[in-house]
Chain A
Amino acid sequence: MSTKSNKKPRFKYGSQASRDALSGYLYVAPFFILFLTFGIFPIFYNLYISLFSWKLFGAEPEFIGLQNYVWLLTDDPTFIKAVVNTFSIWIISTLPQLFIALVLAYVLNQGFVKMKDMFRMAIFMPFITSILAVTIIFNSLFSRDFGLINFILGTAGLDWKIDRFLSHIAIATMVNWRWVGYNTIIYMAGLQTIGKDLYEAATIDGANKIQQFFYITIPQLRPIILFTIIMSSIGGMSLFIEPLVFLDLRGGSHNQGLTMFLYLYETAFGTKYNVGYSAAISWVMFVIVVMFALLNWFITTKVIKD
């Protein structure tokens, strides 16, 4: 009843509706003040400089229109490589990460599990470390000649940095290790919203735990899974510190671990100082990230529904 009347707010001074409107605008104002000051200008400035051949140390900036975009999209194998790398690392980090987190959350949510607090804390702990620290540790674990991972796998002398796919695995491992706990916690929060009666009904119908996981848990968690997928695609698309510290500015000698964001950064700051081209990369990246997020939205909604 009251909800309905609120849908058509009448703007009378002192009325609930006008007070709501006033508070509403006031409460969202801080975000927009900061965003207008620090967010908008860089974006449009970037759009502007992407139209120039502009190297920080070299000849004067020269207006070249869309030439940077033309080069980027039609004649830059390095960029293609960076895009492929980014998606490759994203897939081998996100899929296992979310699946393991989902299973962990499901198991931890079972009544019989003892010492839940301890398990949860252990699994969550990696999230506390800094990316720099994570990369430093895994750099040592993945070391070619002295790495523990080579020792355990019995692959002494295997170089995790030089081979394209192996370097992706190493980087994805760092991402996975750091983020599984976080997602587990998010999923556990979501599991609380699923009514016990659903599981009870399923148990009466003779569904086992694994069937319940696939037919009740996953569909019920859909909005939260969607949220984690969107978040991890934004994170994954702007991945950059891990390959920077694990490999180098170019993501290794044949760009084996170069990601889109790292390429952007390297173009502006490596040895080239080509800020015009770097700005063009940031805009193409933007389009890719938006399309990818929408695609994820679409797929997740479709797939989990059925």
Chain B
Amino acid sequence: MKNRTGRLISYIFLIISSLVSIFPFYWMFAISTNTTAAANKFPPKVIPGDQFFTNVQNAWENADFITALFNTLIVAGTITISQLFFCSLAAFALARLEFKGRKLIFLLIVSTMLLPPASPIPLYMIVSKFDWINSLYAVIIPFLVGAFGVFLMKQFIESSIHPELIESAKMDGARNFQTYYRIVLPILKPGLATLAIITFMGVWNDFVWPSIVLKEQSVQTLQLAVRGLQNAYNRDTALIVTGAFITTLPLLAIFIPFSRQFIAGLAEGSVKG
């Protein structure tokens, strides 16, 4: 009896949380199918209209989404793969190899996470010295390895890979890189998936730094394209929301199948090694 109410409350809680999580997506869809005039009514219009294709066409004409998507994929893809590799490698060294000063090195890396977010001017100066203004290098190279990634990977390695496992691999005569590649990487998969998603999203979403270094249309990223819509028609709500919606769609398409795996992997697979 008591158990039953507990379950009921649990389900209600889950359902409400899910609805709250999903509703803004629906809202985004609903507005992108209406005109701005229709969206600006009280009570607000919650029913989808028939303006979706007009809005998409309008957004399409005002921004080059194909180029932007291509650029974003290059930037986010390169950074993600590079971060997975270099961060997990560094984390492996810091967590499971014995060498002088590794504690200090780890502390140094972690403390860089706390460094103040500086004004972009000095970084701009460096990037321009390399002649990377209006080049995707400017938004890729500085972000190939990150303190957060190293930190996260180290956490995962420490919680899921027992030192004895490494030791026994060494006993069998494995080189360090082989140990990393054959033992650490497979067990680390859920951790890597987490880092991949966090990195990919972070890069996909950034627009402050790209807006400063990428001024040419041919190198613009998706967020810059949406940002551009915000100006082109000032506050044309339907157009802007449509832009936000069509830049979110590819992510949903990539992540709905992938995140299922990622979530399941995280929740079930990890830690047991």
Contact = CB atoms under 8 A, between A and B. Distances in A.
User: Do the two chains touch directly in the complex (Cβ atoms below 8 Å apart)?
Assistant: yes
B232 interface: no
B142 to A, nearest CB: 4
A293 B113 CA distance: 11
Interface string B252-270: 1001100110011011101
A266 B263 CA distance: 39
Contact of A132 (B13, B94, B114, B205): B205
B270 A192 contact: yes
Contacts of A186: 194
Interface in B1-31: 2, 6-7, 10-11, 13-14, 17-18, 20-22, 24-25, 27-28, 31
A158 interface: no
A112 B48 CA distance: 36
A125 B262 CA distance: 13
Given A121-B260, A146-B40, A3 B163 contact: yes
A43 B118 contact: yes
Contact of A268 (B116, B119, B201, B248): B119
Contacts of B92: 27
A132 B116 contact: no
Interface in A182-230: 185-186, 188-189, 192-193, 208-209, 227
A38 B141 CA distance: 9
Nearest to A278: B119
Interface string B198-242: 000100110110000000000000010011001000000100110
B203 to A, nearest CB: 11
B22 A122 contact: yes
B94 A290 contact: no
Contact of B145 (A24, A31, A128, A282): A31
A63 B123 CA distance: 22
Given A41-B126, A192-B268, A125 B93 contact: no
A150 B185 CA distance: 50
A264 B117 contact: yes
Given A31-B147, A37-B126, A121 B119 contact: no
- Tell me whether chain A's interface is mostly helix, strand or loop, or mixed: helix
A72 interface: no
Contacts of A177: 20-21, 24
Interface residues of A, number: 96
Contact of A285 (B116, B230, B264): B116
B226 A30 contact: no
A140 B100 contact: no
Interface stretch (A15-23, A75-83, A160-168): A15-23
Contact of B248 (A2, A133, A185, A285): A133
A138 B14 contact: no
Contacts of A46: 116, 118-119, 122
A42 B123 contact: yes
User: Interface of chain B, helix or strand or loop or mixed?
Assistant: helix
- Most B CB contacts (10 A, CB to CB) among A3, A28, A113, A241 go to A28
A188 B265 CA distance: 11
Contacts of B266: 185, 188-189
A20 B116 contact: no
Interface string B73-90: 000000000000011011
A157 B121 CA distance: 41
Of A119, A133, A136, most buried by chain B (CB within 10 Å of CB) is A133
Interface string A255-272: 000000100110010000
B59 interface: no
A185 B249 CA distance: 22
A137 interface: yes
A259 to B, nearest CB: 11
Contacts of B208: 241
B99 A140 contact: no
Contacts of B167: 2-3
B30 to A, nearest CB: 10
Identify which of B18, B99, B123 gathers the most chain A CB atoms within 10 Å of its CB. B99
Given A3-B163, A34-B144, A189-B266, A209 B6 contact: yes
A104 B122 contact: no
Given A130-B248, A132-B205, A180-B17, 6 more contacts: A24-B94, A45-B122, A46-B122, A146-B44, A238-B117, A282-B117
Question: Which 3 interchain pairs have the tightest Cβ spacing?
Answer: A42-B122, A24-B99, A286-B116
15 contacts: A2-B171, A3-B167, A6-B98, A21-B97, A23-B176, A28-B93, A31-B150, A45-B125, A46-B118, A124-B259, A126-B21, A128-B259, A136-B241, A145-B40, A147-B44
